[in-house]
Amino acid sequence: MASVDPHILIAGGGPVGLFAALLLGRRGLRVRLFDENASPQADPRAATTHCATLEILGEAGLVDDMARVGLVAPIFQFWDRPSGTLVAQFDHAVLKDETPYPYVIQCEQFKTAQLILERLKALPNVEVLQSHRVIEVVQRDAAVEITVDGPTGPRKHRGAYLIGADGGRSVVRHQCGIEFAGFTWPERFIVLTTPFDFGAKRGYCPRSYFADPEEWCNCFKVSADGPPGLWRTVYPTDTASSEAQLMSDDAVQARLQKFFPSAEPYQIVHRNLYVTHQRVAARFRHDRVLLAGDAAHVNNPIGGMGLNGGLQDAANLAEKLGKVLLEDAGERLLDLYNLQRRTVATEFVQQQSIANKKQLEERDPETRRRNLDELRRTAEDPALARQFLLRSSLIAAQRRVAAMTLEEVDR
């Protein structure tokens, strides 16, 4: 027997599933969320939270706490690694008339998840069941039924809708037979985290991108357990080396030393290796099942857009499900969700993240020089810088989809 119907089931308690639960719960809807882990995972993935996403998180009352446990970073830089020169510096302050949040907040995603979890405790209509893995999805008549494997064995749950926010390897997406079209980069990305203070000792700002035809790098500051914080450095790896070779003490030390020569060996507090994809689900809606976050789209992390897109999915979807369930709005609104969020994923996040990577790794000397000159010119011209930042901060994407209507769904 399936348990009593909650209105909405959510598979996945990463930041996207949790944020959807919070927004739906605050509308008074009954929500049951399942996550296979016992608590949010602290691996070094998303930190950069852009203006457009801060606007949504601000409405939910999360931004002050994110700034308290994270870092406010108005500026980011592009460096030319071979010559050691600063090519361009962008200041989000040029967006001060466009957004109440003219900066990014560097807040590790497990901290964002934790802040949301704390708020969910105040909502008796939201149940969070950790150590519960969703294993099967079936749609029947006016309900969706899922099988969930928990500490007491498998059990069925029914709901009016299911949100699949269960990450890039989404069981929900597989169960619905939704294609995840795109490609996987041949090289993996390695993240090496160190307390070495690249700000004080090298003049890098909390988001610094390094172009290099041999091996690019992103260098980010996160607050970790408080001042002075940690720096995460991200590099591509060569495809021939095994994980053991890439992650060995000698190899990670050599990688950091090659990129950022230092008289002392680096203290390395974490090392992580990621396979990276560019994929978008063929559809984000399958009747009563909606995909959000990495379950719906994945991209390389250069530019910090994956989780931002996912949190925006959650807010868009929660608003529409609220209207469908509480205001009798037609289900076609959910097709508008599909159209709006697939547009952001394909026309903004995929394009931008691929372009960001190509820009950093460009090998042709002439193209490289042109790219860097253009970046320099863009940063120096306030009107061009504003356009650039509107796109990189996803404000342009949010404006584009806000203008979309149900009529466009039918076209």
Tell me which residues touch ligand FAD (CB under 6 A).
11-17, 34-37, 45-48, 109, 133-134, 165-167, 171, 189, 191, 234, 274, 293-294, 301, 304-308, 310
CA distance 307 to 315: 12
Q: 48 - beta bridge partners? A: 106
CA distance 120 to 363: 49
Q: 210 - beta bridge partners? A: 79, 217
**CA neighbor of 315 nearest in space, from 52, 49, 121:** 52
Nearer Cβ to ligand FAD (45/271): 45
CB of 294 to ligand FAD, least distance (A): 4
Nearer Cβ to ligand FAD (17/322): 17
CB of 348 to ligand FAD, least distance (A): 12
Is-contact 27 322, C-beta < 8 A?
yes
CB of 370 to ligand FAD, least distance (A): 27
**CA neighbor of 105 nearest in space, from 52, 39, 61, 59:** 52
Is-contact 91 386, C-beta < 8 A?
no
Is-contact 370 28, C-beta < 8 A?
no
CB of 242 to ligand FAD, least distance (A): 20
Nearer Cβ to ligand FAD (134/321): 134
Nearer Cβ to ligand FAD (246/329): 246
CA distance 237 to 354: 17
Nearer Cβ to ligand FAD (340/356): 356
Is-contact 294 182, C-beta < 8 A?
no
Contacts of 373 (CB under 8 A, 6+ apart): none
Nearer Cβ to ligand FAD (98/313): 313
Nearer Cβ to ligand FAD (133/391): 133
Amino acid identity for residue 106 in this structure:
Q
